[in-house]
Amino acid sequence: MAAPGNITEPKGITRHLLRLNSWLVFVFFYAPIVILVIFSFSDNRNVGVWGGLTFDWYRDFANNEPIKGALTNSLQIAVVSTLVAVVLGTLAALALERFTFRGRKVFDALLYLPIIIPDVTMAVMMLLFFAQLAQWFEFTKGFGTIVISHIAFNISFVSVVVRARLAGSDERLEEAAMDLYASRWQAFRYVTLPLIMPGILGGALLAFTLSLDDVVITQFVTGPGWDTLPVFVFGLIRKGVTPLINAVSVVMLVASTLLVALSLFIQRARSTD
């Protein structure tokens, strides 16, 4: 790849067209979000009809126990499933990228399954799996079954992201470390891990978002008392959408933006050490 400095910047009309294009892309991405935010302050039950400024929907959100409960459930599930999936996904990526072993190709293909198959197929498989398991063990569906299902699809996404990062890093750096008498663990801890950290963080953010987002799989494996936020919001649509949904979305949007900003900040602080 050529160094960035070698690419000549387009001139004249091309330059303006490209600039226009990138602005259009931004509008396409962010206009719906801006509209969502604006209407969360609208004093009209109908989404899309402006009725004056109000903070009522945020107050409703703060007073709505079922929605707050669903949000808490979603966050708990997302945190636990992300942590486990990041560890397992990173290990899988390391194994596939750094070692050769029997059955590696099969494992490789298997790891892509949750990405390839449609959500609903995975959901039905999970449902039948837990139904079968219930023949042998006694358990109640809920937190455990949802977390296991989310880990199952998140491992694949994490390992794909981490592998991309691993493939881009030079294996010889580890060899050099070991030449200098670093143990395998030290080479991993002080050379490999810092190198793939951005990949791990990226994978974690992706896993967190996917877990927080999932409707199809979650609603098939949920149990008593374990409504997640997206499943609950879907249910609310039957009674008509109010700006309460906008308010909930804005809160989640702000929270996830802060999360991303925080992870970038941590990374930057590390690299300037």
* CA dihedral (116, 121, 231, 44) positive or negative: positive
| Cβ-based nearer residue to another protein, 122 or 191 | 122
We find the least distance from the C-beta atom of residue 223 to another protein, in angstroms, to be 5
Q: Identify whether the C-beta of residue 96 lies closer than 8 Å to the C-beta of residue 163.
A: yes
We find the least distance from the C-beta atom of residue 180 to another protein, in angstroms, to be 26
Question: Where along the sequence are the contacts to another protein (CB under 8 A)?
Answer: 45-46, 49, 65-66, 105-106, 108-110, 112-113, 116-117, 121, 124-125, 127-132, 134-135, 139-142, 167, 219-220, 222-227, 231-232, 234-241
CA distance 96 to 1: 26
- The residues near 210 (Cβ < 8 Å, ≥ 6 apart) are 150, 153, 154, 157
Query: Angle CA(257)–CA(260)–CA(261) in degrees, nearest 5?
Result: 85
We find the least distance from the C-beta atom of residue 273 to another protein, in angstroms, to be 31
| Cβ-based nearer residue to another protein, 43 or 263 | 43
CA 204 from centroid of its chain's CA atoms: 6
| Cβ-based nearer residue to another protein, 238 or 268 | 238
| Cβ-based nearer residue to another protein, 32 or 235 | 235
> At how many degrees (to 10) do helices 143-168 and 104-116 cross?
120
CA distance 187 to 45: 59
| Cβ-based nearer residue to another protein, 124 or 259 | 124
Reference 163, options 113, 99, 97, 208; nearest CA is 97
We find the least distance from the C-beta atom of residue 110 to another protein, in angstroms, to be 7
Is 151 exposed, middle or buried (CB count within 10 Å of its CB: 0-12, 13-18, 19+)? buried
What 3-state class would DSSP assign to 272? coil
| Cβ-based nearer residue to another protein, 5 or 118 | 118
Tokens, residue 181: 């008498």
We find the least distance from the C-beta atom of residue 206 to another protein, in angstroms, to be 21
We find the least distance from the C-beta atom of residue 77 to another protein, in angstroms, to be 14
Is 172 exposed, middle or buried (CB count within 10 Å of its CB: 0-12, 13-18, 19+)? exposed
| Cβ-based nearer residue to another protein, 204 or 221 | 221
We find the least distance from the C-beta atom of residue 265 to another protein, in angstroms, to be 32
